Amino acid sequence: MRQKLQVYCVIIILASSGFGFLIYKSISNVNTQSIPIEAIQGKQIFQRKACIECHTVFGNGGYWGGDLTKVYDKYGYQRITDYLSAGPLLSGAKHKRHQQLTTEEAEQVSAYLQFINSIKTFNWPPQGK
Ligand code: HEC
């Protein structure tokens, strides 16, 4: 009888510590990263300037200018800032299609694209699609 109780207790302890570990794992996977204020300002510029009319983000938007979800990986902060504040300097930019942003606005949009880039998208967008 006593032995049965001990086995029972061991099972309970193992089960609850396993369960506790799983809870800990799922909580530590929750994204606790806060959004930098500059990125939020960049998002507002992105909306005000209607970038979405020609660009997709996470697959939504216009299809002319290409998807910007992971464009930060491609060029980085400085090149995107220069591109948006000084006209089309990136490869493939053959025509002047963008309205020029101030340096401050361009930096904020870069910060926004940097933040978007940090979101896990499981290889979205599909390459060349
Ligand atoms: C009228 C349509 C249009 C609007 C509006 C527009 N873009 Fe674009 N964008 C394009 C096109 C077209 C390209 C491709 C450039 C080329 O090949 O000349 C491009 C290219 C880009 C690129 C480089 C992409 C790459 O993969 O090389 C970035 C970054 C970008 N745009 C950001 C923006 C941002 C930020 C805004 C809003 C402030 C914006 N665009 C508004 C049409 C647009």
pLDDT score for 69: 96
63 and 96 in a single domain? The answer is yes
Residue 89 banded pLDDT, cuts 50, 70, 90: low
Percent of the chain whose predicted confidence (pLDDT) is above 70: 88
Question: Best mutation site among 98, 104, 129 for ligand 1, i.e. most ligand atoms within 8 A of its Cβ?
Answer: 98
Q: Provide the pLDDT for residue 77.
A: 97
Q: What's the CA gap between 113 and 79, in Å, rounded?
A: 12
Q: Which residue range forms the structural domain that includes residue 79?
A: 35-128
CA–centroid distance, residue 98 to ligand 1 (Å): 6
**125: preceding bond cis by omega (within 30 degrees):** yes
pLDDT over 90 percentage in the chain: 60
94 pLDDT band (50/70/90 cuts)? low
CATH code where residue 86 lies? 1.10.760.10
Residues 67 and 117: their CA atoms lie apart, in Å, by 11
Same domain, 65 and 95: yes
Same domain, 124 and 74: yes
The dihedrals phi and psi of 106, each to the nearest 5 degrees, come to -65, -40
Is residue 123 pLDDT above 60, yes or no? Answer: yes
33: confidence class by pLDDT, cuts 50, 70, 90? confident
Q: Check if 65 has its Cβ closer than 6 Å to any atom of ligand 1.
A: yes
Q: Please tell me the pTM assigned to this model.
A: 0.80
Separation between Cα atoms, residue 34 and residue 32, nearest integer Å: 6
Q: What tokens were used for 92?
A: 């493939």
In the predicted structure, residue 56 carries a pLDDT above the cut 60: yes
Query: For residue 94, how far is its CA from the centre of ligand 1 (angstroms)?
Result: 11
SS3 state at 85: helix
Ligand 1 centroid to Cα of residue 56, in Å, is 10
